[in-house]
A and B are shown apart, each in its own frame.
Chain A
């Protein structure tokens, strides 16, 4: 009797996973897609998006990072901006811009080249790339650089962010980034934001890289002048082109700080320009259709903040997540099976109540873990499994198990003869 109970619990757990697998495979074949706009909307959503978007407690601003918007300034203008900022001795200037090829405006090119050359600590972006003949999607064998006339004084670092986009112009959701990556030739490349952080505090950057994670989750802090696109639209110093030209800022905000030259729209607060703009988990609208909320430069600023403040996010490996899911589902099925056998009349009511408690309680645990310990628990599969478990187990006992037993089949045929 006791052994049979445990066998049923194990088989019931397997059945729920099989049921999920069945639904999953049907979804994989796009069978339900035509009538599943909700599933489509949720397809690119993680539970922590809700945390960042709606539940994150207002973080404090970071005074160690200054963003400078280059707007639509030509290269000569960017040179003037660089000179205006670098004279106040920032710890590092990161330029989140590519300067491909010399332009017809030779004077502008020369001005920019010299201005970049005058910056004491300069980090200039490059891009991890794959050559045409490289058929391995996991291998990066080359780097895309600005024209060499602009790079001679710069420390290189890659600006690639982890998104689902195939090209820069696609809609992009950015939750994670790659802190360092080894090229096919064995050369180690470091991310733009981590490299900038290393100029400010090399120990903290080393400590971050020493975690050894191939991918890191970005612990977002906030945005700059975003008109409500996120709840935290004001977390970094931000200077517009005009501010720098007219000296409309206090120089002490620059000294010994991380300064990022980047594109933040034609002017600060530009909501109509989507060049280099991303969706982030901070987006006020966390599911379905929304506008991108954050420029790439601000994402780099968030990563710099995370590294310098050691606000890392810890997350479970796939194996750990699956183990946790299996164990918790097993216990749920055990309780439900006991109720099914001992309190059959109460089964529907009690299991539904337990399901509701778990479906509210598990997200609470996920939020709690994230908020207090910065641990990202991805238990979405467990939530789906629990949602299916009550009725699924009834199907298991009522249909699967009965159809496999002689008495069950006999009972069914007896009814059909009536």
Chain B
């Protein structure tokens, strides 16, 4: 039955053409978990493109998933624009202080220079090295935080959401400068041969409403995606939390693939927007991938495939969000194994009602 295991790029190409493949594409979204693969501490990634590359390559070779995404945290762009990021010794970095305190300071913000500012050069170096090592067989992407989310790191999330009601032009100014940074960084990512991969958690309906999304997220996403499309790259857009009411807008913005998390229904997404975009998701990153057993992972993958495996524009088995750093290797392996077991065309033997 099974054909020889394909390389990820071959698999995607055949899948897009509707040809036979060996299995569905599968992406456990490995970020800082890659530090564990090479026995490094997460903080060692800071400013060390070589180590990020080594870890990402080693992790890809260990598990054989279908997309490499160079990502350590959401703050790289905001940091390069002046936000203060705290780097714990061995955990994911977090925002310590936004770049500015009030709208009066917005005019002082400058868009990034990707080859100079913050940790951007090291991330670009990592992407370049990964491309050189394995870019001929697997898609390599670099994470880009989208304008509305970066704006929240520039002035503080609570400030920003108040401004969406109190001072809309200030929000647009912030998004505009954040967009310019994202465009420049995307151009630099494309220049090293890599593909920008978009993430916009603050645009989630868990935070702002669809009306605010349309006003403050959508226009900037659209301009960013248009730019990436001009360079011939397909775009994956990840938004965490609730997204049901903005799926159509995510597709309107031009996303080729939308990545959704466990707060959104995979089946709902297939019915709502599956004829327009590829869908990826949504195995629970903490409940299942971090804390579940390999059997929990297997059942969750089966449930996802049962919901979305037939999606018109295609489906990628994936975790709902970046994996927690300490996700057990056995669970990442279990995700890959479950997808191989399901095979092609997707065939689920076991009853999965429990997870549906």
Answer yes or no: do A and B interact.
no
Chain A interface residues (CB < 8 Å from chain B): none
Chain B interface residues (CB < 8 Å from chain A): none
